[in-house]
Amino acid sequence: MKPTTNIAILLAASIAIALLADAWRSARHDSQQLAATLAAQNTVIQQAGDREKQRDSQLAAALAAIQAQKQSVQTP
């Protein structure tokens, strides 16, 4: 083979390796960013669930108070 062919193949292989390395780094960065986003969103979801449980308990207490008031009313 001619030296120019060897140089062209080496150059093409180098470019391919560089592109693969860049794609790998980009995928790794995206994966880390996704993991951080999911962790933050899980915290938000957990807080929303806690607030929902608190509202449910307040609603149950209010309904129990209303039911007790209904039962204490004496109709003539």
Reported as a single tens digit per residue, the pLDDT across 17-53 is 999 999 999 999 999 999 999 999 999 999 999 999 9
User: What pTM was estimated for this model as a whole?
Assistant: 0.58
Q: How confident is the model at residue 3 (pLDDT cuts 50, 70, 90)?
A: confident
In 1-76, the DSSP E strands lie at none
Query: Could you give the percent of the chain with pLDDT greater than 90?
Result: 87
Residue entry with tokens 């109709």:
75
Place of tokens 């449910």: 56
* Per-residue model confidence (pLDDT) at position 1: 66
| CA count, 13 A, side-chain hemisphere, 2 | 3
